[in-house]
Amino acid sequence: VMDVREVGENRLLLLRNPWGAQSPRSWNGAWSRVSDKWTDELKRELGVVNSAGVSMYDTNSMFWMAWEDVVEYFASLEICRVHEDYPSDAIVRQRCWLPAVTGLGEMFTVTAPDDEDASVDITVYQESNKTRESAVGMASTLVDIGLVVVRIDPSSGEPLECAGTAKKDIMPEVNTELFLKRGETYRIVPLSFSHSMELGHRKSTVAIHSSHALKSVSPPRRMTSVESGLATFLYATVHGKKREVSPPGIAVYICQDSSGTIVCAEN
């Protein structure tokens, strides 16, 4: 998406090569280069042509569409965040195993700088199942992935609070943005529940882009059952619905999404 404009009652988007390697192609619907909706004045205003009437776009890669057509013809929109003021040496990438039948998943910890808070953008990417991908397509190889970030006591490892989450989804990646408090230590926990029933191993890549270089980053390690259960519970309290049940004093959190249902009880 190169530009967004509102023209009267029309909401228009300028798109560039959404077909990728399958280009060249061209949009021939409303607001395309052959559409009768254009006026000469509007073409100049939106930069479709210059003052001499010469086309300014490669007609095989850039075109305008109405918002209604974008919603109808595109299933997803990926957003690339550009943090121009983030230092290049403040990028962290860790590869962690997702949980499977053979064992729990991996996690790691990071510590914020001592002198100031850090604004971070955290994305969890899942690797594709290359064994099946060529036969059935990547969409059917995706599993659910999510993320929980827990502030912990650096000495004991005891959890102090849930600092943030990325809502679980059956997508190639999920993302969240949050602030890490100066000098504090955080546990980064990728989640996947449908993959925990699979025998095959699959890794995730956690990418952290930070406004300031992090003080420390630990190597990934396998979670304990207590740590895994805590991450699941914290996720359910954020994204689930709380229900009071009997006997008094017991609360149940129910979290439902496209990958299934999580039920956690607190007493």
> Where is 93: in which H helix or E strand?
strand 91-97
List 10, 17, 129, 175, catalytic entry = 17
Say whether 133 sits in a helix, a strand or coil.
Answer: helix
Distance CA 243, CA 7 (A): 47
**Residue 236, H or E segment:** helix 225-239
Rounded-to-10 torsion of CA 189, 190, 195, 200: -90
Q: First CA to last CA across the chain, in angstroms?
A: 49
CB 203 within 8 A of CB 127: yes
Q: Is 17 a catalytic residue?
A: yes
Which residue has tokens 């959890």? 159
Distance, in Å, from the CA atom of 97 to the CA atom of 260, rounded to the nearest integer, reads 21
DSSP 3-state of 59: coil
Enzyme catalytic residues: 17
